[in-house]
Amino acid sequence: MAESTDDNQEISAITSENNQSIIDEDEEVKHFRKVIGAFLYYKILARNRIRRAFYSYSRLSEAYKRLVPKYETYLSQLLKCIDQNDLLIRQILSGCEHLFNNYSMPSSFNNMNHMSTEQDSLPPPSGVTSMDMDKVKTTIKQFVRDWSKDGEQERLVCYAPIIDEVKRRFPIIPTTNEDGTINNLSSIQILVPGAGLGRLSWEFARLGYACQGNEVSLYMLIASHFVLNKCAQINTHTIHPWILNFCNNVTSEDQLRGVQFPDVNTATLPPNSRFSMSAGDFLQVYNESNDWDCVTTCFFIDTAHNIIEYVERLWKILKPGGVWINFGPLLYHFEDIPNEISFELSYADLRTVILSYGFQIEVETLPIRAGYIKNERSMLHYEYDCVYFVAVKPKDRNDL
């Protein structure tokens, strides 16, 4: 686990070394460049949508146009917000090539720097799909959930009970070092798979626990590296997460509004704290038996192709007496994706599987209503009735 300090050195040595033997290096390079290409294409994609709105407005009769005289001004403001998002994206990408085996930045990074309005209709870079662009838009919104004041309520609903449970089960008892200083660090090791932009993992490290976040999405990893390592001041960046949401807006200003982040100084971890982020698929990266004191899964277990594999692996990697804390729904991510294996269980059946492996469920609460990157000002809200449980691997069990 990479160590961190409080002097704003890189706190997460994101590498893919754990799964080098599984993914061909050429494929990794190709994927890295595709992700960069998708981020860079965001501006063109967004401007295309605004061009469509301009065109639709132009087709209105003059009588209709007089009813909404400020509409073109509003669209022009959206274009400015897109430019601001694009500048932030380029800040996020700047220097990220060193994160994964020193891959070189694709030439498109420079070629797209001076894109003119006439070039807005360019097709996406080779290999970039609509699904990739959805991932870019989701990553932009993830800054709101994990690192802004706007996302505080979502974090209170799902992160707070997990953190409180960890603090209750693994209290940090300060000790005195040989030099007389107080040591508030814990030897308890916590794993957070599906870490996203890293807020929950960072909160554990801030409290003094040894924590590693794991994330398979390169979109999330690049964005998390930026916020964790290059945002040492509070609310220094503004992002416009809702500009491509044309439906269910109460006012045009709600669509235009910016969100500031981060709401904390991410460089303020305790001296000598242990915090890192690992890149790769959870099942490929983590296979060491009896390795972790605690694993927390928040909006994660439904990312499995086969959720039983997750339960089995969690049982294996937890130490005897180890704790698995879960919060989230069962929105199986591969359920409607063609040519992808997806095995779905109801929560009742999943609970039976968890008990069958030997876990003891000591805390269980459902349903708990929770949103996910929800736009509070939208006329449409998606919420989940989530399950929260705490499952313990008994101290006398280390089989499987």
Domains of the chain, each with CATH number or no CATH? 1-112+124-128 (no CATH), 137-399 (3.40.50.150)
Q: Please give the Cα distance from 325 to 312 (Å, whole number).
A: 15
What would you report as the CA-atom Rg of the chain, rounded to the nearest whole angstrom? 23
Query: Going along 268-359, which residue ranges are E strands?
Result: 275-279, 292-298, 318-328
| pLDDT for the residue numbered 123 | 77
| pLDDT < 70 regions, the chain | 1-25, 100-121, 178-181, 397-400
Task: Output the pLDDT for position 398.
Answer: 57
pLDDT at residue 26, as a whole number: 79
What are the residue ranges of helices labelled H in 215-319?
218-229, 252-256, 282-285, 307-317
Q: Quick one: pLDDT at residue 180?
A: 65
Cβ-based neighbour number of residue 100 at 10 Å: 19
- Confidence at residue 163, expressed as pLDDT on a 0 to 100 scale: 98
